[in-house]
């Protein structure tokens, strides 16, 4: 399986994603330049973390108009997997691939920390090797990660089991204390209504080795392989 | 074609938590401006554009706000009248 990792000016987690796919997962990966119009036969697209276009105007607001986003929108529409991590989540929301938006953290500080998230739905393309309500340790690193959407959209996401990850404490409680950015309903990750586009603020690609404090992200990538192989 | 100048005010959607506005409000209270009730911090964008007339320029900027300058989920915008630049 081939992963296409998009590099925007200011992306900085593209190498981490490449490492996770090629070294940990053992699959093929290629960098896709944001000005290109060719996904180079990629099966899975990763919009990586970083600060595309310096976060000018709003995080992700300008990256969404990069030429390659047209092909990525078509890829998503066809039902193929698209993963937006951190800045990639912000870009996916700005592009309308996912509902809602990411706003300035409620405490106004950049947060760089190892956090816990609870798997809310283990039936998805991205989580089928996790247990429901399993607690994962993954890092976050963002200044604008507070997920917001209208109450109606939030209700729809919950009713459709499209909230995939929530910030939780070690016991799995969904509490304000465990919420690193003030996200509505502790939401850390969601999928679109087709279930093929995922956005999340935490970084599974940076939780793929005991060396960096957690391997909980490995099964995120393995889940995609497992589902496609099945 | 003439040159017009249009100012756009973009503010956080009312009712949404505005932590930046709250931080500024708290700082003003600390400075002794106790009468301050609310502060909202947004963006002020000035656009200079060629256009046949003011109305057409304002319509174009409204479209720009919808597509790029403001986030329809989290922000409101107001456009000032176009003035000759």
B-chain residue closest to A147, CA distance: B74
Chain B CB within 8 Å of residue A73 CB: no
Residues A17 and A58: beta-carbon distance below 8 Å: no
* Nearest-angstrom CA–CA distance, A167 and A200: 11
Chain A CB within 8 Å of residue B20 CB: yes
* Nearest-angstrom CA–CA distance, A42 and A1: 8
Distance from CA of A39 to the nearest CA of B (A): 25
* Residue from A194, A126, A202 nearest A160 by CA: A194
Distance from CA of A94 to the nearest CA of B (A): 8
From A13, A144, A205, A208, the catalytic residue: A205
Asked if residue A186 has pLDDT above 70, the reply is: yes
Taking residues A89-111, what's their average pLDDT? 96
Q: Catalytic annotation on A203?
A: yes
pLDDT tens for each residue of A135-155: 999 999 999 999 999 999 999
From A86, A94, A144, A208, the catalytic residue: A86
Taking residues B65-80, what's their average pLDDT? 95
* Nearest-angstrom CA–CA distance, A133 and B29: 44
Sign of CA dihedral A3, A8, A9, A10: negative
Q: Which CATH architecture has domain B2-84?
A: 2-Layer Sandwich (3.30)
Chain A CB within 8 Å of residue B27 CB: no
Asked if the Cβ–Cβ distance from B74 to A105 is below 8 Å, we say no
First to last CA, chain A: 13
Asked if residue A13 has pLDDT above 90, the reply is: yes
* Residue from A208, A157, A180 nearest A23 by CA: A208
- Candidate from B19, B69, B71 with C-beta closest to A106: B19
pLDDT tens for each residue of A17-76: 999 999 999 999 999 999 999 999 999 999 999 999 999 999 999 999 999 999 999 999
Percent of chain A with pLDDT over 70: 99
- pLDDT band of residue B15 (cuts 50, 70, 90) is confident
Rounded alpha-carbon distances, angstroms, from residue A164 to A1, A189, A191, A192, B10 = 23, 5, 7, 10, 32
For chain B, give every domain's residue range: 2-84
* Nearest-angstrom CA–CA distance, A221 and A19: 12
Q: Catalytic annotation on A94?
A: no
- pLDDT band of residue B17 (cuts 50, 70, 90) is confident
Q: Catalytic annotation on A144?
A: no
- pLDDT band of residue A230 (cuts 50, 70, 90) is low
- Cβ contacts (< 8 Å) between A146 and chain B: which residues? 17
pLDDT tens for each residue of B34-48: 999 999 999 999 999
Asked if the Cβ–Cβ distance from A108 to B23 is below 8 Å, we say yes
- pLDDT band of residue B21 (cuts 50, 70, 90) is very high
Q: What is the pLDDT of residue B71?
A: 95
The class (CATH top level) of A2-229 is alpha beta
3-state class (DSSP) for residue A36: coil
**Which of B8, B15, B19 is the best mutation test for A, with the most CBs of A within 10 A?**
B19
* Nearest-angstrom CA–CA distance, A148 and A66: 24
């Amino acid at each position: 399986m081939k992963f296409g990792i998009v590099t925007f000016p200011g992306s900085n987690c593209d190498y981490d994603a490449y490492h996770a796919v090629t070294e940990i997962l053992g699959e093929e990966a290629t960098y896709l330049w944001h000005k290109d119009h060719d996904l180079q036969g990629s099966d899975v697209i990763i919009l990586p973390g970083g600060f595309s276009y310096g976060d000018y105007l709003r995080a992700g607001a300008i990256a969404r108009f990069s030429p390659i986003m047209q092909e990525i929108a078509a890829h998503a529409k066809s039902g193929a997997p698209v993963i937006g991590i951190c800045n990639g989540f912000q870009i996916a929301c700005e592009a309308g691939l996912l509902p809602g938006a990411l706003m300035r953290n409620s405490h106004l500080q950049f947060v760089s920390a190892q956090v816990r998230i609870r798997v809310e739905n283990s039936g998805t393309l991205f989580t089928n090797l996790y247990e429901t309500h399993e607690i994962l340790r993954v890092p976050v690193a963002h200044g604008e990660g507070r997920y917001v959407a209208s109450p109606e959209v939030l209700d729809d996401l919950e009713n459709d089991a499209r909230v995939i990850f929530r910030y939780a404490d070690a016991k799995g409680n969904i509490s304000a204390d465990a919420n690193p950015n003030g996200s509505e309903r502790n939401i850390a990750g969601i999928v679109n209504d087709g279930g093929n586009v995922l956005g999340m603020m935490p970084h599974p690609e940076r939780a793929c080795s005991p060396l960096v404090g957690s391997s909980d992200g490995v099964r995120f990538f393995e889940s995609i392989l497992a589902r496609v192989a099945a | 074609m003439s040159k017009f100048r249009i100012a756009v005010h973009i503010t956080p959607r009312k009712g949404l938590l505005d932590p930046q506005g709250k931080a500024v409000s708290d700082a003003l209270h600390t400075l002794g401006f106790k009468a301050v009730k609310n502060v909202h911090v947004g963006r002020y964008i000035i656009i200079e554009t060629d256009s046949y007339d003011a109305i057409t320029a304002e319509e174009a900027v409204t479209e720009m706000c919808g597509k790029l300058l403001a986030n329809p989920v989290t922000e409101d915008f107001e456009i000032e009248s176009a003035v000759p630049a």
